[in-house]
Amino acid sequence: MTATEPDPVEPFEEAQGGSPKWIIWLAVLFVGALIAVAVMNHGKGGGAADGDYARAFGGPFTLTAPDGATVTEKTLAGRPYAIFFGFTRCPDVCPTSLARMARLRKQLGPQAMKFNIVFVSVDPGHDKPADLGNYVALFGTPIIGLTGTDAQLEQIKKGYGVYSAKVPQPGGDYTIDHTVAIYLMTAKGEFSGTIDFQESDATALEKLKRLIA
């Protein structure tokens, strides 16, 4: 990473009287700049994944498939994949993202099956592997639904830089806050980029085409 952004922390004290949203936006811009630099460096590599970038997210994991089989990063190797994290009680982002991946896959036509779609439930308390299998089956295209123990999920969340946390609710139950980005991984398990929840289908489709090219 070769970002030489000015340190955005300096003006924070002066901004205290104003809106804290200002700080969040600055942080968002800063992270965006870091990603932009990483992407530009990636581009200079002429297709070969730049080492730091390729290893920015990903790494080893061990999870369980709906049929009880153990799935690791080695199981997925050999074909690119789009992996993201959520839970079946997720009101909107998860079903919308899964349906979108199914829709984009269809648009790839003959290339449709050249990548895997992987959905990791970070809610093992509610989502058992078999339930997750039933859930992903709703989307009409093969989706690999995975979950694991708390420790296994911690490992993959750390590898992918994913945030998720249980939040207690008034009735005694809990919900899950979680990162919504979709991570695109090469056939070698190297990080290739992300698809953002708010990004257009056209942009997302281009990224998928590059991933499977």
Partner 1 sequence: MMTFHPKILAPVAVAGLLASAALAHDHQAGTLSIQHPWARETAPGQAVGGGFLAIVNAGASEDRLLSGTSPVAAEVQLHTMMMDGGVMRMRQVTGGIAIPANGAVELKPGGFHIMFMGLKRPLRQGERFPVTLRFQRAGNVTVQFAVQPVGSTGPMKGGHDSH
Please give the residue ranges that form the binding site for partner 1 (CB under 8 A): 24, 27-28, 86, 88-93, 95-96, 98-100, 102-103, 126, 128, 130-131, 134-135, 137-139, 163, 167, 169-171, 173, 175-181, 196-198
CB of residue 15 to partner 1, shortest distance in Å: 17
d(CA 46, CA 74): 26
Measured from the CB atom, is 55 or 103 closer to partner 1? 103
CA distance 43 to 34: 14
**Residues 84, 99: contact at Cβ < 8 Å?**
no
- Give the position of tokens 């997720």: 90
Residue placing its CB nearer to partner 1 in the complex, 53 or 183: 183
Q: Given the complex with partner 1, which of 103 and 209 has the nearer CB atom?
A: 103
Compute the least distance from the CB of residue 203 to partner 1, in Å. 16
Q: How many CA atoms within 13 Å lie on the side-chain side of 44?
A: 9
User: CB of 46: closest distance to partner 1 in angstroms?
Assistant: 29
3-class state of residue 165 by DSSP? strand
Give the up-direction half-sphere exposure of residue 210: CA atoms within 13 A in the CB hemisphere. 19
What's the min distance (Å) between Cβ of 132 and partner 1? 9
Q: Which is nearer to partner 1, 27 or 77 (CB)?
A: 27
Query: What is the H or E stretch that residue 194 is in?
Result: strand 191-195
Which residues, in sequence order, are bridge partners of residue 112?
A: none
Q: Which CB, 198 or 200, lies closer to partner 1?
A: 198
Q: Are 163 and 122 in contact (CB under 8 A)?
A: no
- Smallest distance, partner 1 to C-beta of residue 97, A: 10
